[in-house]
Structure 1
């Protein structure tokens, strides 16, 4: 082994960040922009989750655990049975909808918090995870926008508004993605420097070139 050989443990060089994309909204450093977006998203998601929990609890209470609504005391038993047959399937679907919505919100909150922790500790992994989830959510919203397309004016205006929010969300995802590449580049350079210093230390302890006189008995 020569002193100039540096083992990188098969580390692949990460992609370089886009040279023309160094600011968020063309004026804010990427790191600060990611923090602003992350904490703003955390506040919005927290408020939305608390509201959803409250609404779910209220609806569950008024329907006796998503079973039925209150009936007038003088209602005919046959009419009560007919309402039960109609209401229960609908209430069960509403219960399932609330369960899925709450689960999605809790997962999104976890990913959002993990992303902020990654930003504070300069770890690209959690930021990449956030980008993946946000991209998946963006694809779902695109499907919703396509379903709104039609000849009705209200649907068209709604689709235009949703498209605007889609483009804005896509831009913010790109901000996170570029900053994640920057963090990966920084992490790669740190690991490379550590490896170089380690090899240099080994070279100092075990020199690769020995004086021939030292080998003479």
Structure 2
């Protein structure tokens, strides 16, 4: 059974596809940078908490328990960093491909985003296991946004592909060839 993705003519029903794809690319780069900064800050805060807990241990949470929880957080944060660094790189490819109207770049972005979608689903599971349901909701929302973005970028890719294809047939106006009159 084949499932075909829908094809849009406009992004968000009002913006031309090229502008929509560029907006998606720039916004995704901004959000990736913000997420990388937030995750880096969170790693710093967890490290500081673990160091402070070693110096002044809490009787409710022994240092071994704190280190075990911190290890789970470090693994989650490392996966976050990996996913969003890859996301940053492929969004740069998207912007270059959209500006230069290169369908190969957009096809690469589509395939890479399909991989990112799979990674985001794994990230949902990892986040749910280590951080709980509430922390999973933003990642789940991001996963669904990736699906919509893939459809929009694929639509623009198909528009560029259609522009580059030669028409299968081309009707030419009939212009009779002038012939010299026959002399008998």
Specify the alignment match of 1:28 in structure 2.
15
Select the structure with the greater relative contact order (CA < 8 A; seq sep ≥ 6). 1
Specify the alignment match of 1:173 in structure 2.
150
Specify the alignment match of 2:78 in structure 1.
99
Specify the alignment match of 2:99 in structure 1.
120
Local SS of the residue matching 2:154: helix
Residues in 2 aligned to 1:95 and 1:58: alpha-carbon distance in whole angstroms? 11
Shift in Å at residue 49 of structure 1? 1.3
Shift in Å at residue 139 of structure 1? 4.7
Q: 1:86 to 1:62 in 2, by over 3 A?
A: closer
Aligned-residue CA RMSD in angstroms? 3.5
Residues in 1 aligned to 2:164 and 2:146: alpha-carbon distance in whole angstroms? 27
Shift in Å at residue 125 of structure 1? 2.4
Deviation above 6 Å: which 4+ runs of structure 1? none
Specify the alignment match of 2:53 in structure 1.
69
Q: 1:136 to 1:110 in 2, by over 3 A?
A: same
The TM-score, its normalising length taken from structure 1, stands at 0.55
Residues in 2 aligned to 1:117 and 1:92: alpha-carbon distance in whole angstroms? 38
Shift in Å at residue 131 of structure 1? 1.9
> Does 1:186 find its partner at 2:163?
yes
Query: Does the aligned pair in 1 maintain the 2:46–2:70 contact within 8 Å?
Result: no
Query: Does the aligned pair in 1 maintain the 2:103–2:161 contact within 8 Å?
Result: yes
Shift in Å at residue 116 of structure 1? 0.6
> Does 1:40 find its partner at 2:24?
no
Specify the alignment match of 1:3 in structure 2.
none
Structure 1: segments with no counterpart, 5+ residues:
1-17, 149-154, 190-217
Shift in Å at residue 188 of structure 1? 4.8
Structure 2 matches for 1:81-96, cutoff 5 A? Answer: 83-96=62-75
Structure 2: segments with no counterpart, 5+ residues:
1-5, 167-184
Specify the alignment match of 1:52 in structure 2.
39
Q: 1:115 to 1:87 in 2, by over 3 A?
A: same
Q: 1:140 to 1:104 in 2, by over 3 A?
A: closer
